[in-house]
Structure 1
Amino acid sequence: MATGLIRKARIADINAIRKILQLFAAKGELLARTMAELYSLVRDYYVYQEDHNSPVIGVSALHVCWEALGEVRSVAVLEQYQRRGVGARLVETCLSEAITLGLERVFVLTYRPDFFARFGFEVVDKNILPHIVWADCVRCPKFPECDEIAMLLKF
């Protein structure tokens, strides 16, 4: 089980976050982020390290979309560290923050519904999500033929 440290991302983490996200974007598993986006969204991100001096090996983000709606996004753990609970801890951290912020619902767009179902997310029709959710999608190479699965968790 993952016993490392999760903390809010800092400006100094942006390059490491971008490299991890690029690995998964190259495989079509998540949306790539530009440096400008990462700097502007740095407060959304969490990073995982095995200890204070080790490199970042996992990331996640909680993005507030609308009044009581948030999105868990950019959950990525370097392949050699997967299946150790790192991703689960990152998602749990995002969900804890969502509760603290007073969000009533959190969604994900994913290719791994079984993973998110463990946290109580349920598959929903993408059309129930507000249009503001799709702002990033126009940059996706799969737009408008999105094949991700929408899942929703209500608190």
Structure 2
Amino acid sequence: MNSINVKLMVDTVYIREVEKEDVEDLIELYALTGWKLDIEHANRMIEQFAKSNYSKILVADLNGKVVGKVTLDKVFPPYAEIVNLVVHPIYQGKGVGSRLVEECINRAVKTGYNVVYLMC
């Protein structure tokens, strides 16, 4: 696949909250980027974030496959932080990470958290 095709496909990436069905993709994504995530921890993480009003995991979905993820933590008004940004190596440099960060900022501002910072 050449870079032109990858760029066009990234334009169709859908940013959404993580779902239970994403667990295998998350484990694979973490492994590809050098992090270890087991299925029990991944399932527990998804459940906890689904219940939280203050922290959300967002994923970049490309045709049903998770190619990136990020966590938005609403620390205390007006502060929110963006953490744990991970993008599949094939899609790095193609705008997936930017789309995830942009969605975090939009969601934070819409809920009154207008100071957003990225934790590296």
Q: What is the TM-score with the length of structure 2 in the denominator?
A: 0.72
Q: How many residues align?
A: 104
CA offsets, 1:20-72, max 9 Å, x none? 23443539xxxx69332332014601111222xx3111111211122321111
Q: 2:113 aligns with which of 103, 109, 114?
A: 103
Per the alignment, do residues 39 and 15 of structure 1 end up closer, same or farther by CA in structure 2, a change over 3 Å counting? farther
* Unaligned 5+ runs, structure 1: 111-155
- What residue in structure 1 maps to residue 91 of structure 2? 81
Q: SS where residue 56 of structure 1 aligns?
A: strand
2:77–2:112 Cα contact (<8 Å) kept: no
Matches for 1:45-60 after TM superposition, within 5 Å = 45-51=57-63, 54-60=64-70
Which has the higher mean CA deviation after the structures are superposed, 90-99 or 13-22?
Answer: 13-22
CA offsets, 1:72-98, max 9 Å, x none? 112111101111101100100000001
Identity %: 23
Q: SS where residue 119 of structure 2 aligns?
A: strand
Note the aligned Cα RMSD (angstroms): 2.4
CA offsets, 1:99-121, max 9 Å, x none? 101103122221xxxxxxxxxxx
- What residue in structure 2 maps to residue 39 of structure 1? 47
Amino acid at match of 2:97: G
**In 2, distance between residues paired with 1:73 and 1:80?**
21
Amino acid at match of 1:46: L
* Unaligned 5+ runs, structure 2: 1-6
Q: What is the TM-score with the length of structure 1 in the denominator?
A: 0.57
